[in-house]
Amino acid sequence: MAQAQGVADSAGEGAGKANSNASSPEGSLSIAEKNGVADTNGNVARPGDSASKAESFKGDADTSSAAGGSDQAAAAPEVPDGSTFSVTYFDVGQGDAALVQCDGAYLLIDGGPPSASSLLYSALSREGISYLDYVVATHPDTDHTGGIAGALEVATAGRAFCSATQAEQRSFNAMADRLSSQGVSLEVPEVGDSWELGSALVQVIGPVTRTDDGDANNDSIMLKITYGQTVFVFAGDADSNEEKGAATFLDGCDVLKVAHHGSAGSSCYAFLRAALPKNAVISCSNDNSYGHPTDDALSRLRDCGTAVYRTDMQGDIVAESDGTAVTMSVARNAEVDTLVAGPGGGLGAAGGSSGGNGASAAVDEGSGDSNSAAGSYIGNKNSKKFHLPSCSSLPAEHNRVYFYSRDEAVSAGMVPCKRCNP
């Protein structure tokens, strides 16, 4: 996370700050709300909130297109002295994983595909993070839950949320098992639920209407995080219908984690008009078989004047906020035109390093898991030893085979590594 090179300062005091919170939160604020019973209409009774701010989170459609904000400086909520806020969008290949940090509290949103397990383990270890206040799996799909097991090996979770408490995906069940061994049960949040992360506020803004149509994407948990005057939106794999429901909770944002890796059925105009993202992050792998991100989504983002960042081209992407402005930085290819679609487009040879840690397009997005995908144990095809993702002697990426359980590794003829004793 530290080696990112700064590339852009999106400081802007213009549009889209109407939802800012007006004062620092009180410690007890969201305790009741955490139970999901206190206030389901989205109002957050923060001290100092004006009525209009509460209204705007309620979703008054009339406010959604207001570019306003000229008076926001006066109402600028202060973030406490010494407060910090950052989001790291990890380059996990084809999938999503983001770590939100505020004042030393952590929220992990998705964990990428199973192959991201060791990446997350390393990232958390490196930062000395042994406790994740919140883990949100936006939905059970493998490219979002696969790597969470690795994160949970180094860190315990305070609370954990997903759009479902039961699912077929083996990566989902590996995550649920790991959570349950920590005494944590998955909860399904409601729209309007909110909780504090340090001095930031996390609000659930979707799905307003559950589809339960068998496509987990369209019930993805959508989050809006407000820190001072800055707003971050995480859209999971939502389609345009879910986006439209969530749009009523938005009035501009600083960074949008683009829905569904930039697929054509997401990032609809109705949503983008409300989200008005200054910056957008698309998380996908180089040359993925889904064609993510699509020309359609990219051109709609272009129409919004949004600065687009892509993990497939730029590696880890970090957004830092001081409560007023957001600074974006990337690990590589700071100058590349990320709106140029297609394999090799705009990036070509410069991109040499393909996405992430070898995660490939083989990861199945749907409910079925590919057999090669798992995250909890890593085997070596050659030596036939298997390891924990935390082991100091993991095999090279191209020699790895992943397993969901110890039993599975053993029955595949693998023997436990003597160093990590899996």
- Interface residues toward Zn ion, by CB under 5 A: 141, 143, 217, 237
Using only C-alpha atoms, what is the Rg of the chain?
A: 20
Per this entry, what is the length of the chain? 422
3-state secondary structure 292-306: CCCHHHHHHHHHCCC
Q: Which of 143, 204, 192, 136 is nearest to 164 (CA)?
A: 136
Q: Kindly tell me the burial class for residue 39, based on how many C-beta atoms sit within 10 Å of its own C-beta (0-12, 13-18, 19 or more).
A: middle
Nearest distance from C-beta of residue 235 to Zn ion, angstroms:
11
Kindly tell me which of 149 and 284 has the beta carbon lying closer to Zn ion: 284
Distance CA 175, CA 186 (A): 10
Nearest distance from C-beta of residue 134 to Zn ion, angstroms:
20
Nearest distance from C-beta of residue 363 to Zn ion, angstroms:
9
What does the DSSP assignment read for 110-122?
A: EE-SGGGHHHHHH
Interior angle at CA 173, CA 169 and CA 176, nearest 5: 140
Kindly tell me which of 217 and 288 has the beta carbon lying closer to Zn ion: 217
Nearest distance from C-beta of residue 366 to Zn ion, angstroms:
8
Kindly tell me which of 33 and 239 has the beta carbon lying closer to Zn ion: 239
Nearest distance from C-beta of residue 288 to Zn ion, angstroms:
10
Nearest distance from C-beta of residue 263 to Zn ion, angstroms:
9
What does the DSSP assignment read for 240-266?
A: HHHHHHHHTT-S-EEEEE-GGGG-TTS
Kindly tell me which of 119 and 388 has the beta carbon lying closer to Zn ion: 119
Contact of 357 with 119, CB cutoff 8 Å: yes
Kindly tell me which of 17 and 260 has the beta carbon lying closer to Zn ion: 260
Nearest distance from C-beta of residue 378 to Zn ion, angstroms:
22
Kindly tell me which of 238 and 388 has the beta carbon lying closer to Zn ion: 238
Kindly tell me which of 228 and 356 has the beta carbon lying closer to Zn ion: 356
Contact of 247 with 64, CB cutoff 8 Å: yes
Kindly tell me which of 320 and 364 has the beta carbon lying closer to Zn ion: 364
Kindly tell me which of 133 and 143 has the beta carbon lying closer to Zn ion: 143
Nearest distance from C-beta of residue 397 to Zn ion, angstroms:
21
Kindly tell me which of 140 and 422 has the beta carbon lying closer to Zn ion: 140
- Beta bridge partners, 131, equal 156
Interior angle at CA 266, CA 370 and CA 148, nearest 5: 40
DSSP state of 376: S
| C-beta nearest to Zn ion: residue | 141
Q: Which residues contact 180 (CB under 8 A, 6 or more apart)?
A: none
Nearest distance from C-beta of residue 167 to Zn ion, angstroms:
11
DSSP state of 417: -
Residues of the chain by 3-state class (helix, strand, coil), percent to 5: 25, 25, 55
Distance CA 341, CA 393 (A): 38
Q: Which residues of 48-74 are buried (b: 16+ CB within 10 A; e: fewer)?
A: ebeeebbebbebeeebbeeebbeebee
Nearest distance from C-beta of residue 169 to Zn ion, angstroms:
10
Q: For the chain, first and last CA: distance in Å?
A: 28
Kindly tell me which of 143 and 219 has the beta carbon lying closer to Zn ion: 143
Nearest distance from C-beta of residue 361 to Zn ion, angstroms:
12
Contact of 124 with 154, CB cutoff 8 Å: yes
